[in-house]
Amino acid sequence: MKFLDNLPHFLFFTGKGGVGKTSIACATAVQLAESGKKILLVSTDPASNVGQVFSTSIGNRITPIIQVPNLFALEIDPQQAAQAYRDRIVEPVRDSLPEAAIKSIEEQLSGACTTEIAAFDEFTALLVDSALTKDYAHIIFDTAPTGHTIRLLQLPGAWSGFLEAGKGDASCLGPLAGLEKQRAQYREAVEALSDPLRTRLVLVARAQRATLREVARTHEELAAIGLTRQYLVINGVLPVDEANNDELAAAIVSREQAMLSSIPENIRTLPMDQIALKPFNLVGLDALRKLLKNGLPLENQPVSIPDRVLQAPNLSTLIDDIAIDGHGLVMLMGKGGGGKTTMAAAVAVELARRGLPVHLTTSDPAAHLLETLDGTLPGLTLSRIDPHEETERYRQHVLASKGAKLDAEGRALLEEDLRSPCTEEIAVFQAFSRVIREAGKKFVVMDTAPTGHTLLLLDATGAYHRDVVRQMGDTPVHFTTPMMQLQDPRQTKVLLVTLAETTPVLEAANLQADLQRAGIKPWAWIVNNSVAASQPTSALLRQRALNELKEIEAVATLHARRYAVVPLLKEEPVGIERLQELAGFCAEKV
């Protein structure tokens, strides 16, 4: 593999959710550790599943992977990092300030801003020379899906610049004093990220239009902030000889080869590797050792698909029940790569086809709704919560309201404060709240960001709710917060989208538990791109179908109150017509 040649100290894997970043990062870490090098594997994904891959509890501490000598792992947990960050700021002054002042500081530090900065603080500590990192030959980062990763990698420069100006009161953040102490660390992190002799970025994609376009954009954005040493890995490519005597496999091979021959110009010259699609689930040490090896032999065994899978409810069944209410918020959630965007578009298109007003929107920083729809439909409107646009709108609003009452010096201080990267979190939350309010009159279908980013947004929603409740006290006034609407099943239906694979189903179950702790009960599950439901004849695809059966059974009997199974199709569901076909798909149409 080219991306493993002459490795620098830091190795980052990034790309659209579901392309296999975690599996490739873990397989790389295993291979290097078993060659005798001491390796640290770090996940910066708020919804990390590195521990699941190794069947080991890791969490927010450096943990040895017992099965692999020389391999250590760390999952940067935003919530634990935020608590440690709060303790570091509050404890030194707890005995010297009044209790009311301490509570005020703790409240300032309770929002999503602090959560993000605390996790970022831990991330930058790994990029500087210290006792923490000096013994590792390589540090491998398994990052969050692209949009979140770009923001994370831009933050060292953003916070460094903000602190260099040093004029803002950082009222949205609170922990400015804590950030000031980290100024040198952030500067050193910027230097490490932009040094091609110390840092290499591996862009991971599938042979699919959306993921290739995304890595092309990512290439440009990260090169612009100095991450120029980039490699490209195309993962999960179906071997050409699987196309023999199988129409589904032939269609997939044809589609993938066409994509590989039309890779975007700006990334075509990057050093590139291809990794073949494997017949097994990528969980466990044996699977990881095989991932980076192509040409493995297959077991051509008969596979019987039970009627429970072939006759499972389809997406149209769920939409029938959603349409009854005539309006409401429908949120598609899940780990990246499960197909949330496609499912959201299919639900919105079918509701609009039935004559219902629909607003289809996304909170995903790497949104692809426009490309998925590839057309228009009466009654269907489309929008995107764009972090940059929303931040600028918020800044202008604050300057026009709060800033109008200030003198020139005060306004200059306010403008500096609003340049804080933290301002974006507030702006995005406000846009999210506006969209939620629309659902009282029409259907709002939301394609959310991948799990970790969505949970941070919900954390901000919860913090706002607690703040409103505290301020209202015992005042007998009716009020409704966005969190209250999300918790009301009459107003909000959450659909969890997953694949029929071990890790995605486990991740969806964990997401469901997180939502339930926040008082939000998922309404249904969607098992997307099911190979088993497509009844293939290819030996590799039939082996993957066999592996799916246990996971579909778990969804149907253990996890979901209601569910649907969507088969893997010969043609990508892009465009209004194909999305309509997908929404009404029945097993006998495969």
pLDDT of residue 59: 81
Of 192, 184, 193, nearest to 159 (Cα)?
184
When pLDDT is cut at 50, 70 and 90, the band that residue 95 belongs to is confident
Least confident of 128-132, 301-305, 403-407: 301-305
Share of the chain above pLDDT 90, in %: 35
- Residue whose pair of structure tokens reads 């990034």 in the numeric block: 14
**Span 66-87, average pLDDT:** 84
Least confident of 68-77, 104-113, 265-274: 104-113
Q: Per-residue DSSP letters for 317-380?
A: HHHHHHHTTS-EEEEEE-STTS-HHHHHHHHHHHHHHTT--EEEEE--TT--HHHHH-S--TTE
CA distance to 194, 257, 571, 572, 587, per residue, from 251 (Å): 41, 10, 7, 10, 18
Is 262 one of the catalytic residues? no
* Whether pLDDT at 401 is above 50: yes
> Of residues 18, 174, 338, 452, which has the active-site annotation?
18
- Residue whose pair of structure tokens reads 């891959």 in the numeric block: 53
pLDDT of residue 421: 56
Is 307 one of the catalytic residues? no
> Of residues 16, 17, 45, 502, which has the active-site annotation?
45
Least confident of 38-52, 112-126, 154-168, 427-441: 154-168
When pLDDT is cut at 50, 70 and 90, the band that residue 47 belongs to is low
Q: For the whole model, what pTM was predicted?
A: 0.77
Strand-pair partners of 233? 204, 273
pLDDT of residue 177: 47
> Of residues 16, 21, 340, 442, which has the active-site annotation?
21
More confident: 511 or 107? 511
> Of residues 15, 20, 178, 452, which has the active-site annotation?
20
Q: Per-residue pLDDT tens for 515-555?
A: 888 788 999 999 999 999 998 989 899 999 999 999 999 99
Is 95 one of the catalytic residues? no
> Of residues 23, 149, 451, 454, which has the active-site annotation?
23
* Whether pLDDT at 472 is above 50: no
Is 23 one of the catalytic residues? yes
**CA angle (469, 471, 474) in 5-degree steps:** 70
Is 503 one of the catalytic residues? yes
Residues in the chain: 590
* Whether pLDDT at 398 is above 70: yes
When pLDDT is cut at 50, 70 and 90, the band that residue 299 belongs to is low
Q: Per-residue pLDDT tens for 316-349?
A: 999 999 999 899 999 998 877 788 889 999 999 9
> Of residues 115, 391, 448, 503, which has the active-site annotation?
503
Least confident of 54-63, 162-171, 272-281: 162-171
pLDDT of residue 373: 84
In whole numbers, what is the pLDDT of the chain averaged over residues?
A: 81
When pLDDT is cut at 50, 70 and 90, the band that residue 110 belongs to is low
Domain extents in the chain:
2-291, 307-589
When pLDDT is cut at 50, 70 and 90, the band that residue 4 belongs to is very high
> Of residues 15, 17, 22, 492, which has the active-site annotation?
22
- CATH number among 3.40.50.300, 3.30.1440.10, 1.10.8.60, 3.30.70.560, domain 2-291: 3.40.50.300
In contact, 99 and 145? CB cutoff 8 Å: no
More confident: 413 or 361? 361
More confident: 539 or 370? 539
* Whether pLDDT at 219 is above 60: yes
At 445, is the secondary structure helix, strand, or coil?
strand
Q: How far apart, in whole angstroms, are the C-alpha atoms of residue 527 and residue 535?
A: 15
Assign a CATH topology to domain 307-589: Rossmann fold (3.40.50)
* Whether pLDDT at 406 is above 70: yes
Strand 358-362 to strand 492-499: parallel, antiparallel, or no bridges (unpaired)?
Answer: unpaired
Most confident of 181-190, 325-334, 366-375, 522-531: 522-531
Q: How far apart, in whole angstroms, are the C-alpha atoms of residue 212 and residue 233?
A: 10
* Whether pLDDT at 308 is above 90: no
In contact, 508 and 559? CB cutoff 8 Å: yes
On the question of a common fold for 2-291 and 307-589, the answer reads yes
In contact, 484 and 519? CB cutoff 8 Å: no
